[in-house]
Amino acid sequence: MITIGVLGLQGAVDEHMNQVKSAGEQAVLVKKPEQLGDIDGLIIPGGESTTMGKLMDHYGFKEPIAAFYKQKKPIFGTCAGMVLVAKELCSSEAPHLELMDITVKRNGFGRQRESFEAPLLIKGMDDPFQGIFIRAPLAVRVSENVEVLASFEENIVAARQEHVLISAFHPELTEDNRFMQLFIDMIKNPVY
């Protein structure tokens, strides 16, 4: 059994914890930077990316997460987490962690009222995955080192670069743990 930490500063923390457990792995709520040494992978959940970025600064998470990344430990960013791991943002806002070579547009599909669900064809999955998009970002640019896993209406909504996985949608809000299993497989079978 592996231990997956969920960054517990703000956002869909409980839903991620529950999905990790439903996939048969151990979930740990990460509230202090020193906890990163005790986990095999880290989930940065959806929420409000600007607020989460400020909280990461306030609680001293940026450098420890960068060190976690340099140790080649997998990181999974969903929705706001996708914004936080991007090397570049379309807005004038400075990037946060700069771990993945993508450019992200916050609220790429619109505000809260434009939230929606759609079946997605995800690389490596035989059947469609129901994507839940809530004020979702999208990747407007990816480098050649980034593997695109899913697009919606020609917009990139899931990708992987070495040991970083991102999704613009919220897999933790479904009963389907196949996308979480992608992350678990990255931890158990590293290929970087």
Q: How many Cβ atoms from other residues are within 10 Å of residue 169's Cβ?
A: 29
Sorted by where each starts, the structural domains of the chain and their CATH numbers stand as 3-188 (3.40.50.880)
Q: What is the pLDDT of residue 12?
A: 85
Catalytic entry in 15, 25, 162, 172: 172
C-beta of residue 19 within 8 angstroms of C-beta of residue 42: no
Catalytic residue among 79, 96, 162, 163: 79
Residue type, 149: L
Cα of 154 vs its chain's centroid, Å: 20
Q: How many C-beta atoms surround the C-beta of residue 11 within 10 A?
A: 26
Report which of 3, 66, 56 is spatially closest to residue 29, judged by C-alpha positions.
3
Per-residue pLDDT of the chain (192 residues; tens, 9 = 90+): 899 999 999 888 999 999 999 999 999 999 999 999 999 999 999 888 889 999 999 999 999 999 999 999 999 999 999 999 999 999 777 889 999 999 998 877 766 666 889 999 999 999 999 999 998 898 999 999 999 999 999 999 999 999 999 999 999 999 999 999 999 999 999 876
Enclosing H/E stretch for 103: strand 100-105
Provide the angle, in degrees to the nearest 10, between the axes of the packed helices 49-58 and 62-70.
90
Residue 170 designated active-site: yes
Dump the DSSP string for 149-162. Answer: EEEETTEEEEEEET
Active site residue 172: yes
